[in-house]
Amino acid sequence: MQIFAPSSIDLTAPSTPSLRILALGDSLVYGFGDPVGGGWVERLRRQWMSPGGTNHALYNLGVRGDGVRQVARRLEDEFRHRGELRNRVPDLIILSVGVNDSPRLGRPDGKNLLPFEGFEIEIADLLDRALRLCPVLFVGMIPVDEAKMPFLDCMYYNHVDQIRYNAAIRSACEARQIPHLDLLEIWRSRGLDWCQQQFTEDGLHPNVSGYQALLEDISCWDAFRQWIEP
C-alpha cells in the first residue's frame, strides 16, 4: 500500500529565491573527518554565502552517533525553532540517517544495534513525521571500509547489513514519494579502491576528498537541484 504525504503539504519545489533548509542526521551531516571544509553541509553553506551565491539558509543538525530513533526524538523541536522569521517554518528537510543502526555489536556475527525489523518500523515513523512538517529529501548512507572494522573496538559495520538497511530506507521513501539519493550504490559502483581512498583511518567517516565527492554527488542530484536552482 502506498503512503502519501498529507494534502496540506505541497511537495513541489517553490520558486522563492530564499529557502530555509534543515540537514538532519548523523556524523555524515555533521561533517566529522573533514578539517578543511567541515563536511558537505558546511561546504554547501559556505558556497551559498559566497559573493554571487544564493540566499538560502542551511542548518547543520547532524549529531555524531545518532540513529533513526535519536533523530526522530529531536525532529519536531529542531524544525520548530529554525524558521528564522516570525510565523515562518523551514521549507525543506534533508534527512541522512541509518548507518549507525546497522552495526553488529561485540563481534562480526553479533546482534545489530537496532534489529532490522525494528529499523523498518522506526524509519517509516520518522518519514511520516517529517512529511507532516514539510517536504523531505533523503541522502543515503555510504559504504564503510570493512577492512578497518571494528569501529571503536566493538562495532562491526559491514556491507551486507548496509545493503539490507539501505533497501528498507529506499522502500520506505518510494512508498511516500520521497526522493532518495542511493549513495551506497553510487559509491560501490566506483569500485573498492576508489571508496577506500575516501575514508579517514576509522573506515567509517569520509575524509576531505570523501566529503568533496559527497558534495558533488548531492549537488548533481536532480531532486536537490529542482529545489535550489531558480
Do 108 and 156 touch, CB atoms closer than 8 A? yes
- Give me the CATH topology for the region 20-228: Rossmann fold (3.40.50)
174 Cβ partners below 8 Å, 6+ apart?
180
Q: Residue 124: count other Cβ atoms within 10 Å of its Cβ.
A: 18
CB-based burial, 196-227: b 16+ in 10 Å, e otherwise: eebbbeebbbbbeebbbbbbebbeebeebeeb
Per-residue pLDDT of the chain (230 residues; tens, 9 = 90+): 344 444 444 555 554 568 999 999 999 999 999 999 999 999 999 999 877 767 899 999 999 999 999 999 999 999 998 876 666 789 999 999 999 999 999 999 999 999 999 999 999 999 999 999 999 999 999 999 999 999 999 999 999 999 999 999 999 999 999 999 999 999 999 999 999 999 999 999 999 999 999 999 999 999 999 998 86
pLDDT value of position 163: 98
Q: Where do the structural domains in the chain lie, given as residue ranges? A: 20-228
pLDDT value of position 1: 39
Q: CA 44 to CA 207: how far, in whole Å? A: 16
Do 79 and 72 touch, CB atoms closer than 8 A? no
